[in-house]
């Protein structure tokens, strides 16, 4: 498992934002934490680091997500077999 | 709970705590003080990120002598807890499977492990045999003490100025632009300009990929509903273009015409800031013969020189519509707006790099968009200490520490006094700049190649030099040349090395960097280097000591003491002996010595201990009446810069014209040295990608990043691809007059070049695009132009 800390910046429109939250709450491995009006802290758990990157890319494409910043990354977790250089 | 569950919960809690702390970055809560669950044997400490010149701070989590977690540092002004995809994987850069762990000596086609003692003797033998034919090639990734030690060893010890850094390839034109305009190097503003500007103009710059954390400051303002106008003036569409309200595409090299067109309109419409110009500016034009500081000019001459640059004429040169030139001039002519210009390699890797840097400064000065938060011409750097180690320590072949020059007798005397050297030790003639150094090294000794031994530290010229066939590959056949490479992994440079030395990396050693906004940043060693890898600084000092012990006069000061003599409580500590290197803090010892050099050009640094406490401080850092140390965000502006005389408002106190004025230059547009023709009909531009840092030595060893972008590619315009019959992913040959490489085509990918242009990133050791590039360089900065040369493109199957 690989764990990342994220800041999600959401759309300014509260209607869109509400839909976005519905989507985020169902997102596999995502735990939502503290939030301000437009931003929410989150922890993302994924099978391995490559899956974490794919999940972050997926979150960037989630309607109402304006921006995703990764602010914490676990680097001790083993990589997926296909990650070997 | 099982230990595994415990650990998962700890990591989830840490991730959430880091994210929450970033969310409330204004709060004093630091990550290290966040609630730590059961797995609290992780020790956290601060360090600047190892990669680009932004200077983000990370929190490094260490357990059992290993880096186990990375978090953005919420206490850091630069990044406020945010990191980019490279930054949050930076810890993995230490753990590639092929780290160099012992000195290696070439024996034919193989390398043989040898001891450090033998390695140091070999280097000392080579230098002792002919010190004048030795050269040192360093880096903007050298820490400040590493660069300072190399600088003192070469110029103060060997009396040899053949020391130059890879930063010559990335920001030398920014240096000459600042010097020619303000008489002193480095930006006047800082990153807060990005928080305050109304308009951000990107001049051939792609910060969404190259400086993503800085760029996110602007994107974040937009997301909060602030009105920031983003204009991308570029030669291809990039990720930054996706965020821009206006994209102005220009023909390569014609940015000079655009800058002149803006100035022309400001003058014609009288929308320039006449008071700012009258109070603070002088005019400059090129001298005959050409010199960096040119000759004094007049306002009338300046106006007359710009007369031809009507919007229509500029359109005919640049391809940017005349109305768009008027639009830019409208912005600069509006005194109410705050305008920040950003640039990096697009303006620096340019055969007219000094000129275009000076012209963009000139537009800001002419329009008075200078000296207020948000009003700033700002260059960015690509390496973490290109500013700190190269520009400030002066590890360039013509420079001495603190903004001094080897050609200036007074400067040499000052350095000799500060280093306690006998008069005349420092040679008056500048050494070889990068291109010349490698040309001399790759030329047979009996044909004028008077560099025989070259030591490379912390850089990879076998991948980054332009025209590699000429400037690097030719070394292979020269038996009397000896290449020493200190690095952390095997690279494109070690393939031709005669001696390879294993180096410590990032938090495996103490360090100090200086970032793009004059911020000096310190960190401590946190983990051990692998095997027999050792600090680059120690390597330099150990060689110096070998030479001292053999009686070489240059390694002694005028009292006979060793150049790097270090004492604790009056007793000498043998720092040249690795077993004792960390008995004292050598970084602190060298930094305190170096500080004495920094005041001449008002680049004052605080004592080392102040940097231990801070997440970096921006120079000049000046002691206050209460004993505290205050950094400077805005230079030359009375409201913040302590060196501006009271009542002056703005004062360019290192003015070239010695009258406190900045210089507004005129430079004409001239064609580049190589342009596409019938035989080679495409422009080639090279550069970087988000996921990899420079030559990929570190990022290609980080599996997540390597997998994201595993191989270099060539970006092709869709219409060009159709005309060539090339489909996405198909192998094509990119060929210039100098060399060729095969790459997969990427059509309508991340970057979108216009018809007639292609782009290739340089991170891939297996696809050396610099076999193709041109070594033509700016006449003043000596920086090569990696952004344009002529190539042809063919389907591989068509051969």
Any A CB within 8 A of B71 CB:
yes
Q: Which residue has the higher pLDDT, B267 or A52?
A: B267
The answer to whether the beta carbons of residues B453 and B92 sit under 8 Å apart is: no
What is the predicted pLDDT for the residue at B40? 65
The answer to whether the CB atoms of A74 and B83 lie below 8 A apart is no
Catalytic one among B49, B52, B84, B170? Answer: B170
The answer to whether the CB atoms of B89 and A73 lie below 8 A apart is yes
What is the predicted pLDDT for the residue at B223? 74
What is the predicted pLDDT for the residue at B38? 41
* A residues 6-35 closer than 8 Å to B (CB): 6-7, 9, 12, 31, 33-35
Asked if B345 is an active-site residue, the reply is: yes
Phi/psi of residue B423, each to 5°? -55, 140
pLDDT digits (tens, 9 = 90+) for B749-763: 889 999 999 999 999
CA–CA distance, B635 with B620 (Å, rounded to integer): 8
Looking at the predicted structure, is the pLDDT value of residue B264 above 90? yes
The answer to whether the beta carbons of residues B161 and B424 sit under 8 Å apart is: no
Looking at the predicted structure, is the pLDDT value of residue B11 above 80? no
Looking at the predicted structure, is the pLDDT value of residue B186 above 90? yes
- CATH code: domain of residue A70: 3.30.70.920
Asked whether residue A80 is domain-assigned, the answer is no
Q: Which of A39, A53, A69 sits opposite B216 (nearest CB)?
A: A69
Asked whether residue A81 is domain-assigned, the answer is no
| Beta sheet of B229-234, edge-to-edge order | B246-249, B229-234, B199-203, B339-343, B376-379
Asked if B552 is an active-site residue, the reply is: no
Q: Spell out a b/e string for B420-459, using b for 16 or more CB atoms within 10 Å of the CB, else e.
A: ebeeebbbeebbbbbbbbbbbbbbeeeeebebbbbbbbbb
Asked if B555 is an active-site residue, the reply is: no
Any B CB within 8 A of A37 CB:
no
Count: domains in chain A: 1
Asked if B171 is an active-site residue, the reply is: yes
Catalytic one among B138, B261, B382, B449? Answer: B382
- Give A52→chain B minimum CA distance, Å: 9
Best residue in A73, A82, A83 for a mutation probing chain B (most B CBs within 10 Å): A73
- As a whole number, mean pLDDT of residues B90-109 equals 96
CA–CA distance, B381 with B348 (Å, rounded to integer): 10
Looking at the predicted structure, is the pLDDT value of residue B525 above 50? yes
Instruction: Print the domain residue range for A32.
Output: 2-75
Cβ contacts of B796 within 8 Å, gap of 6 or more: B730, B731, B732, B733, B742
SS3 per residue for B531-556: CCCECHHHHHHHHHHHHHHCCCHHHE
Strands B682-687 and B740-747: unpaired
> What is the band of B81 on the pLDDT scale with cuts at 50, 70, 90?
confident
- Give B34→chain A minimum CA distance, Å: 13
Name which of B321, B200, B335, B360 is nearest B270 in CA terms: B335
As a whole number, the mean pLDDT across chain B is 94
* B residues 7-36 closer than 8 Å to A (CB): 8, 11-20, 22-24
Phi/psi of residue A35, each to 5°? -140, 150
pLDDT digits (tens, 9 = 90+) for B593-604: 999 999 999 999
> What is the band of B707 on the pLDDT scale with cuts at 50, 70, 90?
confident
Looking at the predicted structure, is the pLDDT value of residue B276 above 50? yes
B729: region left, alpha or beta (phi > 0 left; psi from -120 to 50 alpha): left
Name which of B496, B468, B492, B476 is nearest B484 in CA terms: B496
What is the predicted pLDDT for the residue at B28? 30
Asked whether residue A14 is domain-assigned, the answer is yes
pLDDT digits (tens, 9 = 90+) for B364-411: 999 999 999 999 999 999 999 999 999 999 999 999 999 999 999 999
CA–CA distance, B171 with A18 (Å, rounded to integer): 46
H/E segment holding residue B404: strand B404-405
CA–CA distance, A48 with B141 (Å, rounded to integer): 31
Asked whether residue A82 is domain-assigned, the answer is no
What is the predicted pLDDT for the residue at B37? 41
The answer to whether the beta carbons of residues B369 and B650 sit under 8 Å apart is: no
Looking at the predicted structure, is the pLDDT value of residue B257 above 50? yes
The answer to whether the CB atoms of B20 and A39 lie below 8 A apart is no
pLDDT digits (tens, 9 = 90+) for B32-72: 334 344 456 889 999 999 999 999 999 999 999 999 989 88
pLDDT digits (tens, 9 = 90+) for B199-229: 999 999 999 889 989 998 888 888 778 999 9
Asked whether residue A29 is domain-assigned, the answer is yes
The answer to whether the beta carbons of residues B379 and B134 sit under 8 Å apart is: no
Residues from chain B contacting residue A49 (CB–CB below 8 Å): 89, 703-704
How far CA B778 is from CA of B176, B290, B407, B457, B685, in Å, comes to: 10, 12, 20, 25, 17
What is the predicted pLDDT for the residue at A82? 41
Looking at the predicted structure, is the pLDDT value of residue B692 above 70? yes
The answer to whether the CB atoms of B19 and A5 lie below 8 A apart is yes
Asked whether residue A42 is domain-assigned, the answer is yes
Where are any strands of DSSP class E within B624-753?
629-630, 662-665, 682-687, 713-716, 731-735, 740-747
> What is the band of B796 on the pLDDT scale with cuts at 50, 70, 90?
confident
H/E segment holding residue B63: strand B57-63
Looking at the predicted structure, is the pLDDT value of residue B420 above 60? yes
How far CA B754 is from CA of B414, B638, B759, B779, in Å, comes to: 52, 45, 10, 29
Question: Which domains are present in chain B?
Answer: 3-45+57-83+90-95 (no CATH), 104-170+385-503+535-595 (3.40.50.740), 172-380 (3.40.228.10), 682-798 (2.40.40.20)
> What is the band of B799 on the pLDDT scale with cuts at 50, 70, 90?
low
What is the predicted pLDDT for the residue at B749? 82
> What is the band of B537 on the pLDDT scale with cuts at 50, 70, 90?
very high
Asked whether residue A32 is domain-assigned, the answer is yes
The answer to whether the beta carbons of residues B661 and B652 sit under 8 Å apart is: yes
CA–CA distance, A69 with A56 (Å, rounded to integer): 9
Looking at the predicted structure, is the pLDDT value of residue B1 above 50? no
**Inter-chain CB pairs, A–B, below 8 Å:** 138
| B704 → chain A, closest CA residue | A50
pLDDT digits (tens, 9 = 90+) for B115-163: 999 999 999 999 999 999 999 999 999 999 999 999 999 999 999 999 9
Reduced to 3 states (helix: H, G, I; strand: E, B; else coil), residue B724 is helix
Asked whether residue A24 is domain-assigned, the answer is yes
| Terminal CA-CA length for chain B | 65
Question: Which stretches of chain A score pLDDT less than 70?
Answer: 76-85
Residue B151 CA, chain-centre distance (Å), reads 18
Catalytic one among B46, B80, B86, B155? Answer: B86
ipTM for the whole predicted complex goes beyond 0.95? no
> What is the band of B9 on the pLDDT scale with cuts at 50, 70, 90?
confident
């Amino acid at each position: 498992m690989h764990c990342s800390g994220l800041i999600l910046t959401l759309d300014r429109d509260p209607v869109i934002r509400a839909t976005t939250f519905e989507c985020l709450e169902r997102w596999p491995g995502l735990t939502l934490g503290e939030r301000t009006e437009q931003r929410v802290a989150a922890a993302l758990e994924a099978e391995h680091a490559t899956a974490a990157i794919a999940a972050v890319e997926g979150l960037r494409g989630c309607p109402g997500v304006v921006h995703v910043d990764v602010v914490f990354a676990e680097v001790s977790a083993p990589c997926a077999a296909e990650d070997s250089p | 709970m099982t230990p595994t569950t415990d650990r998962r919960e700890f990591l989830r809690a840490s991730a959430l705590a880091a994210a929450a702390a970033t969310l409330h970055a204004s709060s004093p809560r630091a990550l290290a003080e966040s609630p730590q669950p059961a797995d609290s044997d992780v020790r956290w400490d601060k360090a600047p990120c190892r990669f680009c010149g932004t200077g983000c701070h990370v929190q490094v989590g260490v357990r059992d002598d290993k880096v186990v977690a990375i978090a953005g540092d919420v206490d850091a002004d630069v990044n406020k807890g945010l990191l980019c995809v490279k930054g949050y994987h930076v810890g993995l850069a230490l753990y590639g499977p092929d780290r160099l762990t012992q000195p290696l000596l070439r024996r034919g086609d193989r390398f043989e492990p040898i001891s450090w003692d033998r390695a140091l003797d070999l280097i000392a033998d080579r230098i002792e045999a002919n010190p004048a034919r030795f050269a040192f090639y360093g880096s903007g990734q050298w820490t400040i003490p590493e660069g300072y030690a190399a600088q003192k060893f070469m110029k103060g010890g060997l009396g040899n100025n053949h020391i130059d850094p890879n930063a010559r390839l990335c920001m030398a034109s920014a240096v000459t632009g600042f010097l020619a305009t303000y008489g002193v190097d480095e930006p006047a503003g800082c990153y807060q300009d990005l928080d305050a500007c109304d308009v951000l103009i990107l001049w051939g710059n792609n910060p969404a990929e190259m400086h993503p954390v800085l760029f996110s400051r602007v994107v974040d303002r937009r997301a909060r509903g602030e009105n920031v106008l983003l204009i991308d003036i570029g030669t291809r569409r990039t990720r930054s273009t996706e965020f821009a309200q206006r994209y102005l595409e220009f023909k390569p090299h014609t940015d000079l015409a655009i800058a002149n067109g803006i100035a022309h309109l400001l003058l014609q419409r009288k929308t320039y800031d006449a008071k700012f110009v009258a109070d603070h500016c002088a005019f400059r034009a090129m001298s005959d013969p050409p010199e960096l500081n040119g000759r004094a000019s007049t306002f009338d001459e300046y106006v007359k020189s710009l007369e031809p640059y009507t919007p229509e004429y500029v359109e005919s040169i640049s391809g940017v519509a005349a109305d768009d030139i008027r639009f830019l001039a409208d912005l600069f002519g509006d005194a109410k707006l705050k305008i920040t210009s950003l640039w990096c390699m697009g303006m620096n890797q340019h055969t007219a790099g000094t000129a275009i840097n000076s012209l963009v400064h000139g537009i800001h000065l002419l329009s008075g968009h200078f000296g207020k938060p948000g009003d700033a011409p700002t260059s960015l750097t690509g390496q973490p200490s290109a500013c700190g180690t190269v520009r400030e320590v002066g590890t360039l072949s013509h420079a001495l520490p603190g903004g001094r020059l080897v050609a200036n007798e007074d400067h040499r005397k000052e350095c000799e006094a500060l280093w306690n050297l006998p008069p005349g030790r420092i040679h008056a003639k500048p050494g070889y700049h990068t291109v010349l150094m490698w040309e001399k090294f790759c030329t047979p000794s009996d044909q004028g190649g008077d560099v025989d031994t070259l030591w490379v530290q912390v850089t990879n010229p076998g991948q980054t030099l332009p025209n590699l066939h000429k400037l690097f590959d030719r070394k292979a056949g020269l038996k009397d040349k000896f290449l020493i490479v200190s690095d952390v992994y095997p690279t494109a440079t070690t393939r031709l090395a005669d001696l390879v030395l294993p180096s410590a990396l990032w938090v495996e050693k103490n360090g100090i960097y200086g970032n793009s906004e004059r911020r000096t940043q310190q960190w401590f060693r946190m983990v051990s280097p692998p095997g027999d890898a050792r600090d680059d600084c120690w390597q330099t000092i150990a060689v110096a000591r070998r030479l001292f012990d053999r009686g070489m006069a240059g390694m002694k000061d005028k009292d006979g003491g060793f150049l790097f003599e270090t004492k604790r409580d009056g007793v000498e500590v043998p720092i040249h002996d690795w077993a004792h290197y960390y008995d004292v803090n050598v970084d602190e010892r060298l930094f305190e010595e170096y500080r004495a050099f920094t005041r001449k050009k008002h680049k004052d640094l605080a004592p080392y201990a102040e940097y231990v406490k801070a997440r970096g401080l921006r120079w000049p850092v000046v002691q206050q009446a209460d004993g505290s140390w205050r950094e400077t965000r805005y230079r030359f502006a009375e409201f913040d810069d302590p060196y501006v005389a009271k009542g002056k408002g703005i004062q360019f106190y290192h003015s070239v014209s010695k009258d406190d004025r900045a210089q507004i230059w005129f430079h004409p547009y001239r064609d580049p040295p190589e342009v596409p023709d019938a035989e080679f009909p495409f422009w080639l531009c090279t550069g970087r990608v988000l996921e990899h840092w420079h030559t990929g030595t570190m990022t290609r060893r980080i599996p997540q990043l390597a997998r994201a972008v595993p191989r270099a590619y060539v970006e092709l315009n869709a219409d060009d691809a159709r005309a060539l019959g090339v489909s996405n992913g198909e192998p094509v040959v990119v060929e210039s007059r100098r060399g060729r490489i095969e790459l997969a085509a990427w059509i309508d990918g991340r970057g979108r070049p216009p018809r007639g242009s292609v782009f290739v990133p340089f991170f891939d050791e297996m696809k050396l695009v610099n076999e193709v590039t041109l070594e033509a360089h700016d006449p003043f900065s000596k920086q090569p132009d990696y952004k344009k040369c002529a190539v042809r493109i063919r389907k591989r199957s068509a051969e």
